[in-house]
Structure 1
Amino acid sequence: MTQMNSMEIQSDVIEVGEQSLTIAQVAAVANGAKVQLSRSLDYVEKIEKGARFIDSLLEEEGVVYGVTTGYGDSCTVAVDIEHVHELPLHLTRFHGCGLGQYLNDQQARAVMVCRLNSLAIGKSGVSYALLERIAVMLNNQIIPLIPEEGSVGASGDLTPLSYLAGAIIGEREVRYQGNIQLSVDVFDKLGLDHISLRPKEGLALMNGTAVMTGLACLAYERAQYLAKLSSRITAMASLTLQGNSDHFDEILFAAKPHQGQAQIAAWIREDLNHYQHPRNSDRLQDRYSIRCAPHIIGVMQDALPFLRQFIETELNSANDNPIVDAEGEHILHGGHFYGGHIAFAMDSLKTLVANIADLHDRQLALVMDTKFNNGLPPNLSGAKGVRKVINHGFKAVQIGASAWTAEALKHTMPASVFSRSTECHNQDKVSMGTIAARDCLRVLQLTEQVAAAALLSMTQGIQLRIDAEELSFETLTPSLKKTLSQVQYVFEPLIEDRPLESVLRKVVDDIQLGAWEVCK
C-alpha cells in the first residue's frame, strides 16, 4: 500500500507547529506530502526557550530525570555533568534491539510526523534544530528503517523510536532513493550538517506514543473508507440475491435513530434506487447478512467520530516525560507516554473491522450456495452446458475469504489486557498500544482481502442476472454502474476456471488506494 484517498486533504504542504493536525493530514504526509515547520520568530523562541531552560538547570546542577539521571529503574543513579551529553547517545544505542518486519515508508512517515508534531508543541525541551532535521528528512524522503516489534506502549515507543533518533544523529540505516544506506552518508550527500542530541532530546524523541499514533491514523483512514465500500458491496449483494430493498427504508431507520447506522442504510438505499423500485423481491425478509448490514457496518460508522477524538487528542499532545514548562520554569515528571487511549481505540477498531469481514464472508456464503442464492448457478460459475461440470467458479475464493475472516477474528483479542511488568518493575503496567495498532492494521488487511473477494463475486453475480435478463444494466443507479465498470475493467467475467490471485491482489491494492468511487 503506497497511498490512500482522503477527502479532507486540502494542501500538498502540511503546516506543523502552531496548529493542531488531523488524522487526514498525517495520512497526507504519510503518502508523500511535505511539511512546513513554523518559522515565526515567536514560535522559534518558544521552542528554544525550552532548550535553554534545560541548559540552565544543568548549570545550576538541578536533578532532571533522563538528563542528570539514568533511565527508567536507573532514575536513582546520578549522572555527573561530564557525562550528561553522552547519555542521549547511549539511550538510542541500547534500545537498538527491535525485530520483526520494518515499517513501510508510509507507516514510517506517519510515525515521523506524529513525533514531530508532539515535540513541536514546545513542552519537551528540544531545540528548533532538532525539529528542522525531522522536517528535512520528511521532505527529502529520508525514511528510517524502523522494526515494528519491541514496544510495550509505555514508556512510549522507546525501541522503535530509537531508530528515528539514531537516524537523526547518523547512526542508523534509512531508505533513500530506493536504497538502504546509513543516514550519515545520505546527510553528507545532501550537504546536511551532522547534529548531536542535546541532554533532553534523546528521551524526548523516544519516550512518546508516535509509533502507535501514526499507525492508528493510517488504520482510521482505511476503516473510514471501508465503511463506505462495505455499504456498496452490500447493495451489490442485495441485487445479486434479488433481495428486498425495503430493509433499508428511511422510515424504518427513523425508528432506531443511530446516526451512523442510518447513514449506512441511506448509502445502500441510494445504491439500490429504492424509492423508484420499492419492492424488488417477493420475500418479506432477507437473511441477516443483508437485512442487518446497516446495523453491523453502522456500529463502526457510529464509533469512528468517538475513536477519532481519542487519536487526534493523542496526536496533538506532548506525550513524553518529563514535561518541560519553560514559561513557568517547571519540570513535571509524569506518565504521558502511556498509550492507553490509542490501545483502546485500536482494540475497539480492530473488532469493528473484523465484524465487516465476517459480514462479507456470510454474504459470500449466500451467493455461492444454490440453496440460498435464488436461482444463480453454484459458486457463481459462468460456465454453460457440458462445461458446467468441470468448472467451479468462486468456490476456492469463498474458502479463502473464510480463512481470511477467521484470521481477522482471531486477532480481535484485545492487546491492552496483556500488560506486562518490565524493566525491573518500573514499567509495571503498560499499554500495549503499539501491538494493538499493528493488530488493527493486520485485521484491516485481511478484511480488505475479503472485501476484494466480495467485490469480484457480486460483480459476477450481477452480470449473471443481467445475462439472464433478470436485471437490466440501464436500471442500475449511476453509482452501481460506475463500480461495476471499474471492477470489470480489471476483471473479465469468470466463465472458464482461471487463477484469480493477480486480480484479487489488484483489487486489494485499489481498495487501499481508495480507488473505488464510493464517497457519496
Structure 2
Amino acid sequence: MSLKYHLIFFINLPPKFKTNPMKIIFTLTLGRLEHLPVIFLGVFECGGERWGVSDWKKLRFLFARPAFGVGFMTTSQWLLAKCGSGSLDILEAMSKLMNQNLIHKLPSRGTITASGDIVPLSYIAGLLTDRHNSKVVTPDGEEITVLEALKRAGIPSPFELQAKEGLALVNGTAVGSAVAAIVCFDVNILALLVEPEFTNPLTHELKHHPGQIESAAIMEFLLDESDYMKEAKARYEDPLAKPKQDRYALRTSPQWLGPQIEVIWNFKGTPKRVSMDNLGIAIAAIGKLMFAQFSELVYDYYNNGLPSNLSGGPNPSQDYGFKGAEIAMAAYYSELQYLANPVTTHVQSAEQHNQDVNSLGLISARKSAEAIEILKLMSATYMVALCQAIDLRHLEENMKEVMKHIANQAIRKTLYTGEDGSMLETRFCKKEILKIIEHQLVFSYLDDPTNPSYSLLLQLREVLVEKSLQESPKEEGETDSGYSIFKRIPVFQEELKARLGEEVANARERFDNGDFPIPNRIKKCRTYPIYRFVRIK
C-alpha cells in the first residue's frame, strides 16, 4: 500500500541546487522519508486547497499557536520515518485532521525533553483516543470536542491504541522540534529585514566567512541604484568633506550579522537545547545592532542633520517624536538580553534521578520564541523610525528648494541696486548665499527661520559684512561702496524675514497635504516595498 502526502521540507542540498534554500516541495511515498536528510516538514495541501509556497500567511496559521499544528506534523514525520511504529489508519487520521486545520490544544510547559516531550505529546494521543478533557481548535479559533473534530475530518471513530502505538506517539521530541523550527523560520525572516546603510563587499569576500559574505551581499543588493547612495556620493566627491569612517554600528554590521546568520544556519544536526541557546544569543546580538543603529538615528549629533528624536512637527519643543520609542527600544533590548541567558545551565535531575541529565529543549525553544517576539517589536519600531527618517529627508529636500527660491527673490529685490538705482557689488554675493543655504542643515532653522540668533541668518549676514569690508576704501579719495553694501544688510534681512515667515509656513502646509514638487527618493529604491507596507498598510 502506498500513502502519498504533499509536504514542504527543509533539506540539505548541494550549493548548486540552493536557488531557494528555504523551501523545497516534494510528493513523497510512504517509506522514502527515512532516506532524506529531513529537518522539518509542513503541510502543502490542506482542505483540498493547493497553497503557493510564498503564501506563508496561511502556513503561519498552523504555526501561530505554540507548536500545536507543527508538533502534530512532526509527530507524523516521526511515525512515517519509523515505518512500523504506528498504523496507517492513525497516520491517515492525523493527515485528515491537519488537512482540515483542526489542531489539538497542547500545553507549552511541563516537559523536560529527556527521551521526549511526553506530556504535551500525550495530548495528541488523547485526541486520537477521545480523552474526555481534550479540546480541538478550528481555523476560526473555536474550541470543539474530539468527536466533533473527528466527524469534521471524516474519521468514523476514535482509536484504541495497539502495542507500541502509544509509545510511538508520545516518546519523541516533536513539540520542541516544532517550536525550534518556528523560531528558526522567524529569525531568518527578521534577520533579512535588518538594513544597515553602507557596505563594501570586497572586504567581506576576502575574509571568506560565509555569513559575513551573505549579509554584505544582501546589503549591497538593497542599496544598489539607491537615490540616497547617489546623493551621498555626489555630496562627498571631495574625500576631505566626508567622515574618515562610518560609525561601528554601520560599518561593522556585516561582520556583526555574519556569525549570527551562521548560528541560525547551523541549527540542524545539533541538540535542540544547545541550538536554541545559541539562537537566543544570536537574536540578542541582532537586537543589539538594531538598538545601536536606532540610537544613532534619533540622535541629532549622529544622524546628519535630521531633527532630534526624528520630530516631524513644526514645533520641536512640543513634539517629542520618537523619544518614547527610544525608551521602549531600550526596554525591549534589556528584556532580550535577559532572554539570551542559556537554559543549559539550569538542567535539574528528574524522575527520581532516572532522568538526572536531560535537555530542557522545549523550554529553551520557548524562551527563544519569546526572544523572537521581542525582536519583532524592535524590528517594527526600527522600521517605522526609518520610514520617518526617509520622510524627513523628503521634507528637507523640498524645504531647501523653497529656501533657495525665497533667497533668490530677496537678493534680486534688495542687493542688485542701491537707493539711487546704481548697481551694487552685493549682487555678486548670490552664489555664496545660495551655497550657505545648500549646506545649512534645514532642521536647524525650520521651526523658526526668521530667528536672528539661528545660524542661517547669522551666516548670511556674515557674507554681506565680509563683502562690505572688502569694498571699503583702502585709501583716501576712493569710493566707499562698502558703506552702500553695509546699508543694504538690514534691508535684505527684513525682506528675507518677511518672505520666510509666510512662504515657509505655506510650503510646509502644502507638503503635509501631499503637494510637493520633489518626489520622494525612496520610490526608486529596492526597499520601497517595505516603506510602502509600513506607511500605507
Higher mean displacement: 425-434 or 6-15: 6-15
1:156–1:209 contact (8 Å) kept in structure 2: yes
Higher mean displacement: 463-472 or 440-449: 463-472
Counterpart for residue 150 of structure 1? 110
Counterpart for residue 206 of structure 1? 170
2:43–2:73 contact (8 Å) kept in structure 1: no
Distance in 1 (alpha carbons) for counterparts of 2:43 and 2:372? 16
SS at match of 2:136: strand
Counterpart for residue 176 of structure 1? 138
SS at match of 1:26: strand
SS at match of 1:479: coil
Counterpart for residue 345 of structure 2? 417
Map 1:73-84 onto structure 2 (within 5 A): none
Against the structure 1 CA distance between its residues 268 and 160, is the aligned structure 2 distance closer, same or farther, given a 3 Å change threshold? same
Q: 2:325 aligns with which of 378, 389, 397?
A: 397
More contact order relative to length (CA 8 Å, sep ≥ 6): 1
Counterpart for residue 202 of structure 2? 251
Counterpart for residue 101 of structure 2? 141
Q: 2:360 aligns with which of 432, 439, 443?
A: 432
Distance in 2 (alpha carbons) for counterparts of 1:223 and 1:440? 10
Counterpart for residue 304 of structure 2? 374
Q: Following TM superposition, by how much is the alpha carbon of 1:426 offset from its aligned partner in structure 2, in angstroms? A: 0.8
Q: Following TM superposition, by how much is the alpha carbon of 1:34 offset from its aligned partner in structure 2, in angstroms? A: 8.2
1:421–1:429 contact (8 Å) kept in structure 2: yes
Counterpart for residue 486 of structure 1? 533
SS at match of 1:374: coil
Please state if 1:224 is matched with 2:152: no
Counterpart for residue 164 of structure 1? 124
Distance in 2 (alpha carbons) for counterparts of 1:180 and 1:438? 23
Distance in 2 (alpha carbons) for counterparts of 1:27 and 1:415? 31
Counterpart for residue 18 of structure 1? 32
Q: Which has the larger radius of gyration?
A: 2
Against the structure 1 CA distance between its residues 191 and 206, is the aligned structure 2 distance closer, same or farther, given a 3 Å change threshold? closer
Counterpart for residue 319 of structure 1? none
2:41–2:74 contact (8 Å) kept in structure 1: no
Please state if 1:365 is matched with 2:329: no
1:262–1:298 contact (8 Å) kept in structure 2: yes
TM-score with structure 2 length normalisation? 0.64
Q: Following TM superposition, by how much is the alpha carbon of 1:10 offset from its aligned partner in structure 2, in angstroms? A: 5.5
Matched residues, percent identical? 25
Against the structure 1 CA distance between its residues 126 and 146, is the aligned structure 2 distance closer, same or farther, given a 3 Å change threshold? same
Distance in 1 (alpha carbons) for counterparts of 2:181 and 2:42? 7
Q: Following TM superposition, by how much is the alpha carbon of 1:29 offset from its aligned partner in structure 2, in angstroms? A: 7.8
2:75–2:174 contact (8 Å) kept in structure 1: yes
Please state if 1:112 is matched with 2:72: yes
Distance in 2 (alpha carbons) for counterparts of 1:31 and 1:357? 39
Instruction: Give deviations 1:64-111, integer Å, cap 9, x for gaps.
Output: xxxxxxxxxxxxxxxxxxxxxxxxxxxxxxxxxxxxxx9844721110
Higher mean displacement: 185-194 or 291-300: 185-194
SS at match of 1:194: coil
Look up the equivalent residue of 1:204 and give its one-letter code.
A
Distance in 1 (alpha carbons) for counterparts of 2:28 and 2:395? 50
Distance in 1 (alpha carbons) for counterparts of 2:29 and 2:306? 54
Instruction: Give deviations 1:345-393, integer Å, cap 9, x for gaps.
Output: 1111111011111111111111111222222111101111xx3211111
SS at match of 2:82: coil
Look up the equivalent residue of 2:222 and give its one-letter code.
D
Counterpart for residue 450 of structure 1? 378
Distance in 2 (alpha carbons) for counterparts of 1:31 and 1:403? 43
Counterpart for residue 506 of structure 2? none
Q: Following TM superposition, by how much is the alpha carbon of 1:15 offset from its aligned partner in structure 2, in angstroms? A: 6.6
Instruction: Give deviations 1:448-506, integer Å, cap 9, x for gaps.
Output: 1101111010111122112211897448753123322222213xxxxxxxxxxxxxxxx
Against the structure 1 CA distance between its residues 397 and 252, is the aligned structure 2 distance closer, same or farther, given a 3 Å change threshold? same
